[in-house]
Structure 1
Amino acid sequence: MKPPWILRLAWRDLLFLHWPLPAEALTPHLPDGVTLDTRDGQAWLALVAFNVTGFGVRGVPLQLQFPQINLRTYVRVQDVPGIWTFSLDAAHPLAVVGARWAYQLPYKLAEASLSVEDNWLVFQSSRHNQPDMDSHIRFRPAGPVFRALPGSTEHWLTERRSLYTLGWGQRLWRADVQHEAWPLQVAELARFHSGLPAQVGAVALGAPLAHFARVVHVKGWPPVGQPRDRT
């Protein structure tokens, strides 16, 4: 029986930026037993920037709010599709410490904001003591809301409900989330700068595939150990 959810939160004003890359560019950055997921022979690198609101642990009255930006790719373990995060920069020390301890995720503390300027959303982050990891992105939704159709590239990139990480003792963990289907819109970029892709050697990226989502409401489950794929 699946245990009860332990986290509740919302992701708001979320920007997906995706770049196709050769599989060999990302495979070296994954641990043994985690298989890179590809579509039409290509891997995908993603930056996801958003505001977290109403972040709380079940049974605890405290709720947190903070901006966050993640660098990630897509993987499969035992044929279950999911997400592998290379870094997560967040602007709340309690959330950073808690996620690093409970989920063993590579969270970094950053100064960050997500604001509105002249009908544009502006996300900015600066990782503590690492100015080369700064991000500054100016964006807005530019089309009607749609739900990605199963089989489409947008569905393959966004509709994932499992997150993989290396837990205590280098054991592979999987943490699942539940939320409604993404209310996607095409996004328009007025400015993009981020040093985060350089963490995996991606320093000459072209124009990304960009999407926006206003809000999804999320429940999260505790991580559980997973057998690794055989290599």
Structure 2
Amino acid sequence: MATKTTFLTADWRYLLLANYPVEASVLRRHLPAGVELDDWNGTHYASMVGLLFEDTRMLGIGFPWHRNFAEVNLRFYVRRKTAAGWKHGVVFVKEIVSKPAIVLVANTLYQEKYVALPMRHRIEASPTGELTLDYNWKIKGEWNYLRGTAAASSEPMLEHSEAEFLAENYWGFTRRSATKTSEYEVVHPRWTIRTVSDFSFHCNVAALYGSEFVETLQQEPRSVFMADGSAVKIMSGEKVL
């Protein structure tokens, strides 16, 4: 087996996850070949995620004006069976950044679903330590947002919990065509999390993700939390089908 190389390193910080039960039928058209939908206690999830990339480097090189930026994505959860056991991971429906060069590289090399839109964000600590998280993106002339207030203190994720199922995924899977799939490994330590209050979300779902996601993302999320994040490594991708 060829030695994997590190394609990208970064610090992922302030990951705000809003998690929605979703019907399997909504996800199947986005499912890569050779992987299957994963579930937690019989429920499939889609998550809206906002996060910061900091000190981003591709192949060890940090490019000017592309080191620090926000991303908002919609993802769902899958697994792939191998001789060594199950690989649990995510599939991205769409990833939003403000950097066209990031879009070009990710979509060309990884066949991901990145789009470039105007974005802004605000991360602000209160005197008592709570964190205001505010991720914004603009589509069709309107600002959309993902917002919440994270608790001042972090706590470890419980084993076999919903949060662990949603946050501890170390593989990304990409649908290259109806019959071809790539995977890449994401390496990071186990994260701590914070409870989130005052959550609000406004999005032109149909324009961004298609009408099939409107019902899912218009309901109240089953859960919302913030992962503190860490340094991460994204390894070079490989074709599995």
Q: TM-score per shorter chain, which class? A: 0.7 to 0.9
Amino acid at match of 1:186: T
- 2:211 matched to 1:195? no
Distance 1:107 1:163, change over 3 A: same
- 2:78 matched to 1:89? no
Q: Deviations over 1:30-71 (max 9, x none)?
A: 244331111222100101101111111124242521111010
- 2:180 aligns with one of 167, 171, 182: 171
CA deviation after TM superposition for structure 1 residue 177, in Å: 0.9
Amino acid at match of 2:226: F
Contact 1:74 1:84 in 2 (8 A): yes
- 1:157 aligns with one of 163, 166, 178: 166
Q: Deviations over 1:80-122 (max 9, x none)?
A: 2110100000011111111111111010001111114684222
Give me the whole-angstrom Cα distance separating, in 1, the residues matched to 2:114 and 2:192.
26
- 2:75 matched to 1:75? no
The TM-score, its normalising length taken from structure 2, stands at: 0.83
Query: 1:220 is matched with which residue?
Result: 234
Runs of 4+ with deviation above 3 angstroms: 116-119, 167-170
Give me the whole-angstrom Cα distance separating, in 2, the residues matched to 1:84 and 1:116.
26
Identity of aligned residues (%): 22
CA deviation after TM superposition for structure 1 residue 24, in Å: 2.8
Contact 2:55 2:62 in 1 (8 A): no
Amino acid at match of 2:195: V
Query: 1:8 is matched with which residue?
Result: 9
Amino acid at match of 1:8: T
SS in 1 for 2:118: strand
Distance 1:104 1:29, change over 3 A: closer
Count how many residue pairs are aligned between Structure 1 and Structure 2: 224
Cα RMSD (Å)? 2.3
Structure 2 gap segments, 5+ residues each: 127-131
Structure 1 gap segments, 5+ residues each: none
- 2:137 aligns with one of 125, 130, 143: 125
Distance 1:131 1:105, change over 3 A: farther
The TM-score, its normalising length taken from structure 1, stands at: 0.87
Give me the whole-angstrom Cα distance separating, in 1, the residues matched to 2:222 and 2:178.
36
Give me the whole-angstrom Cα distance separating, in 1, the residues matched to 2:5 and 2:100.
26
**Larger CA deviation: 99-108 vs 117-126:** 117-126
Query: 1:108 is matched with which residue?
Result: 115
Distance 1:91 1:208, change over 3 A: farther
- 1:206 aligns with one of 209, 220, 233: 220
SS in 1 for 2:122: strand
Give me the whole-angstrom Cα distance separating, in 2, the residues matched to 1:27 and 1:50.
26
**Larger CA deviation: 92-101 vs 57-66:** 57-66
SS in 2 for 1:149: coil
SS in 1 for 2:22: strand
